[in-house]
Structure 1
Amino acid sequence: MTLLPPNLLTYMSEEGYDKYKKIRHLFDEDSKCDPENDPFRSAYKARELLQEISNKVHVERECDGAHVGLRVLEGSLCYQLGLNYIFCEERPCGEEYLQKSVTLLKDDLDTGNSKDAVSIVMAAQTELGILWASRYQGAEQALSILEKVESSYHEYKRKSDHAPLTIDELLSPPEERLTDAERREKFENIYTHALFYLAQVHKNLGNNDLAATHCQRTLRRQLKIGNYDRKEWAVNAAGLSQYFITRNMFAQAKHCLCCANVVIEECETTASDMETAVFQRKADIARCWVKYFLALLEYSKEKLYDDVLELDRDRQTNAQIAQDEEDEIKNPYRMPMELGVEEENTRHQPIVTFEEARQVFLRCKTYVDFALKFFVMDGYVTDNIELAQDMSALYKHLLFFEIAKDRKCKMHKRRADLITGVLEEINPQFYLLVCRQLQFELGEIYSDMVDLKVEIANETNRPAGPHAVKKINSLCLSSIKYFREFLDTLKNPNGEFPGTLDGDVERPAVVANFYLARLHSKVLASEQQETLDWKRRSLQFYQWIVDYVQRNPKCTPSVQKEFEICQEMVVLLPKSLDRQL
């Protein structure tokens, strides 16, 4: 055990230890009750006492700079002063004290004194890394500092089996010193804290793979040590699942989400505010589950697409055979916990059949419904709308696996009712971008229903009856209505369509006009003249697209297929009209 010089040990016994106890009480307890108009009152009092002890130690160290105990004690006090200044929103002073702490002790890391200094240096560097991470363009410097913490941890573990001294151990009486097990736990906690912020910094720098690795290591270490906030752990585990989803690693994503479910259920909900906090975390986790199932359905569709983005039955059969032969996926990212049957009963393999898709649909819908209980329209408008869009996407994915066209139409109708209900509740003045998304989606939904109804009518090998004609025309007009509403939002204050559109709406605007051209040609009119009128309007939309792309050639790559079809139609459609005159 590192010892202090006799004269300083006498001071600590008579005053220092008691002052430090008072400091901890001021900072840990009294500060919670400080008034709003004086929020740092207790912290300022604690700072004065810290400074008194620090001044005394500094004088002693000036007289005996070679004494390890004096350097370690002053380094500990500088670290705590740094935290105090940061807490009081005086970051420059806080950074200065943290850096002083590192400077005092960095040479001791390379000597036999590392067990006395390593915890303080790692803790101070972690706080410096956090400071830099919060600054504009400070992520690179934060990464450099936090990697030093990681290096110090591994270097100490490689060289020593001793439990290192804790940050403030020399500020406590000898009879209150910690056991080796307690010291090791605190040392591991410092490294875990650093790992957590390393994950954040890597994420901010776009190093997603490294961010996920550090996040997963942090979560595993927290489980092993047992000292963690269950609500935050569960949300972070669910967040990690979203990384695995982007890599199509669905077994790993599922495992993270199942772990999140288990841990969030362990949270106590005795107070009403705690119940609300846990409810929100559960709703957040439910949304991550929704994204998981949607991504699994999308991934499964991509594996079964044919050349026209429809279900390929041959690929479906081959996928079923391959799935039956697949060995159990081994997951190197597993957390050290028992999950029971939930993980076993949750699908992560690609979906092949409609029944499999239906089971995933029903499971996902339960999470949407749960999330909507918290993210209500009154207070969580954006979240509520996104959940409605997720539910629409869920129906869209399910109908890909459906064969019966009439049932597909019913699913589209549910999507339309869902989106229409949301669109009617929001104000386009405040949610213009969202309104555009919903209007465009409704236009697509009704257009898809038109195509399905036309296919159903053609299967009879007879002209469409009055009821079918009326239904097809009604759907055409609904689709036209929403695409027009979408395009109207792009007009300038004078009600004119701009000659050049912004990049983020350029392709949607061209595609909307392309839909309108097709829809006008699908309307079934009873009189020939009316039919010709609809086709002339169709030609106008095709011509608009050709003119726009020729006027704005930079947009050609993003609308190449539509542009080529339009070029053909502006040549063929006039000839067709001439023949019908």
Structure 2
Amino acid sequence: MFIILFTYVESVSFTSFVSTVKSNLKYNITMDGVQSTIKCNLEILHKEYQQIKTFQKMENLDDKTHNDTELSEEMKKLIQHMIGTIESMMIPQDPMYLRLLAMKTTLFYEQSKLLISLGKEMEAQEILITALESIKDVVSKSELVFLAFRIINHYAYLLSKQGEFEKSKELLEYAESTYKSSKKESAVIQFYVSDDLFSPDTVISSSTDSSNKLERLVTNNLQMLGFIYNKQELHDKFAEYHHEVLRRQLEMKDGNVTMWALRSARLASYFLSKNRFKEARHHLVAATHVLYSYEKELEALEPPDNMIEKWDELQQRFADVARCWVKYGLYLFSVSKTNIISSICGEPNQMLEKLWTSPFKTADLYKPTTSKETPIYDDNVDEKTGLPARGFGDIVDRNSQPPCDVTDSIPKALPSLLQGSQSHKTETRNIDNVEKNEGVLLIFPSLDLTEWEEQVTASFIETTVQARELFQYTHSWLKRAKVFYTLQDHPMQYINAILDLSELHRFLAFYEEDIESQYAVQKLRADALETLSTILKEVRPQCYMAVSVELLRELAEVQLEMMGLNLRRIYIAQEVVPETSDVTLHKMEALADIHSKLEHFNNNMWHNMDPIDSGSIPVSDIAGDVCNYVNS
């Protein structure tokens, strides 16, 4: 009985084992079939995606030998077929689901580009919206992050073309926040491009040459975001993002070097308009440093066919950056001069308020006066004229000094005056907002530019020595710009350079302390303008007609300045020797007396009259008077 029972149990166990083996074998056969089907579909999708890329290349050819409409229809049918294949393969919770979703979204993106090429932008936008909605919950996944940024970039561009800057800004800010969150989680963001997604292999892997693609795409999005900020007149935000784009391009060594330098110099011009001189100087120095480094690279290379074009472009960018340096110097001079005048004369608004000061006081300004009412005059009002005794347009004594020197020159006591008014100067600086006190300065941390920046100041010009140093630095860059912008090839730019030189001389004359130095600088300014005017009349008459009014205005201003300096020379000469004025007057009277006696003697000689009868003075007396004059 025991043997029979054991045999029965052994028979049941063997039967169960055989059934399990058959079941597992069937499952393995089924799984092998599924994997084989998936791999087969991936290979087909890979070939079809390569065909789409071929169609796109054919569309971009200049010499088109095909029908665009037929080609677009073929692409449209192919994309629809591929989307259907992918949807049949998508199973939620499947490991391949995110990859298939990314492949489907890629086809939506390609379809939108096709519609845009056909002029159907609204349909393209609807497809892009659908694509973004389908991946909004998994946008930070490695299969979708790069694709999501591409779609956002494309959709934001379409919106900005239509003037919908607010929607475009929201999309790009969302992309920026997603990028920053991913960066916090991992310093290196893993991502897959479209070619990786449409690989025929079942296991996805990223391409080796796609490391910077995501960073370039993010840079492009930030650049577009800065553009939108500028369109919305958020200029500080624009400057911040434009600087960030330049920083990223510099660190990635991405883009054209000369164009990078030009954009950095232009951003410096914006900082100048905001009186942010340190940041302006830093960006100009960075542009200069990059151009000099690129110049050394070109010198080390063997001359290829396009070397001449590269050198010409480099020289032009050097000239453009040089003009920005000239603008920097002129603007720093202008702001410094305004600050000095304000510290001496007060704020312009306070001076304008004096224009509206009433010359007399009344009991009620809105009550008409009667014959019995007598106006109550101010203490500083002239009773005869009813006008202020001192104010704008007053006639002051010639020996008194005006409250503010209206000429382009500084009194000799200016340095001590500036040192003695530190509190007022600080107040003026705060009003003018010369430097940005809040936040961090926008600089390029990867560049060490301290030695370069020390060559030029970013502070107010307050002394003659500082003015001469800034003049020399700016003048050197002006000469560098003149090398490229010649009168023959670039006449208008050359004329502007001469006018900038005139402005430099004008500011330098303002800071010179003695009259002779001021006169010498103004003379150089006049010579430059007169030479330019003469040459233009002979060589470039058309250019002369275009700028003749500006040249005449500059020349008139210079002549007035020089005339004012000459008058000050006379005025100072009279003050230098006041003790000799009586002696000079005595000599003039003696000479007049001698002259009258000589004329009287001459008249008597012509009429043959006896000098004694005529009552004339003997010649010996005249000679004695002359001796007395000489000895006096």
What's the TM-score, normalizing by structure 2? 0.61
Determine which of 191, 198, 206 is the counterpart of 2:225: 198
The answer as to whether partners of 2:172 and 2:221 remain within 8 angstroms in 1 is: yes
Task: Number of aligned residue pairs: give it.
Answer: 445
In structure 2, do the counterparts of structure 1 residues 435 and 143 end up closer, same or farther at CA, with 3 Å as the change threshold? farther
- Structure 1 gap segments, 5+ residues each: 324-328, 463-581
Determine which of 161, 175, 180 is the counterpart of 1:154: 180
- Percent identity, please: 23
- Structure 1 match to 2:327: 291
- What is the RMSD computed on CA atoms of the aligned residues? 4.1
The secondary structure found in structure 2 opposite 1:345 is coil
Residue 180 (structure 1) shift: 8.5
1:417 is matched by which residue type in structure 2?
D
- Structure 1 match to 2:156: 129
The answer as to whether partners of 1:316 and 1:353 remain within 8 angstroms in 2 is: no
- Structure 2 match to 1:390: 500
Residue 221 (structure 1) shift: 1.9
Determine which of 487, 494, 515 is the counterpart of 1:405: 515
The answer as to whether partners of 1:119 and 1:165 remain within 8 angstroms in 2 is: yes
Residue 69 (structure 1) shift: 3.3
Residue 97 (structure 1) shift: 3.6
Residue 99 (structure 1) shift: 5.2
C-alpha distance in 1 between matches for 2:71 and 2:314: 34
- Structure 1 match to 2:85: 60
- CA deviation profile, 1:455-477 (whole Å, cap 9, x unmatched): 11222229xxxxxxxxxxxxxxx
The answer as to whether partners of 1:294 and 1:393 remain within 8 angstroms in 2 is: yes
Determine which of 550, 553, 565 is the counterpart of 1:452: 565
**Bigger relative contact order, structure 1 or 2, given CA contacts below 8 A and separation 6+?**
2
Match status 1:443 vs 2:556: yes
- Structure 2 match to 1:73: 103
The answer as to whether partners of 2:265 and 2:321 remain within 8 angstroms in 1 is: yes
Match status 1:8 vs 2:41: yes
- CA deviation profile, 1:492-511 (whole Å, cap 9, x unmatched): xxxxxxxxxxxxxxxxxxxx
C-alpha distance in 2 between matches for 1:91 and 1:150: 31
Residue 352 (structure 1) shift: 2.1
Match status 1:355 vs 2:465: yes
Instruction: Mark the structure with the bigger radius of gyration.
Output: 2
Question: How does 1:372-383 map onto structure 2 within 5 Å?
Answer: 372-383=482-493
- Structure 2 match to 1:469: none
- CA deviation profile, 1:7-42 (whole Å, cap 9, x unmatched): 5302035x2365367568768xxx6xx55xx48989
Residue 196 (structure 1) shift: 1.3
C-alpha distance in 1 between matches for 2:544 and 2:201: 63
- CA deviation profile, 1:363-400 (whole Å, cap 9, x unmatched): 11111111122223344343333222221111111111
C-alpha distance in 2 between matches for 1:416 and 1:25: 62
Residue 146 (structure 1) shift: 2.9
- CA deviation profile, 1:53-78 (whole Å, cap 9, x unmatched): 52332232454576543442243244
- Structure 2 gap segments, 5+ residues each: 1-34, 92-96, 346-403, 427-436, 576-632
Residue 340 (structure 1) shift: 5.5
What's the TM-score, normalizing by structure 1? 0.66
The secondary structure found in structure 2 opposite 1:110 is coil
Match status 1:232 vs 2:342: no
C-alpha distance in 1 between matches for 2:474 and 2:71: 52
Match status 1:256 vs 2:286: no
The answer as to whether partners of 2:157 and 2:168 remain within 8 angstroms in 1 is: yes
The secondary structure found in structure 2 opposite 1:407 is helix
The answer as to whether partners of 1:79 and 1:124 remain within 8 angstroms in 2 is: yes
Which shifted more, 157-166 or 270-279? 157-166
Match status 1:281 vs 2:317: yes
2:442 is matched by which residue type in structure 1?
Y
The answer as to whether partners of 1:74 and 1:101 remain within 8 angstroms in 2 is: no
- Structure 1 match to 2:527: 417
- Structure 2 match to 1:477: none
Residue 85 (structure 1) shift: 7.2
C-alpha distance in 1 between matches for 2:66 and 2:463: 65
C-alpha distance in 2 between matches for 1:289 and 1:80: 46
The answer as to whether partners of 2:140 and 2:182 remain within 8 angstroms in 1 is: no
1:255 is matched by which residue type in structure 2?
H
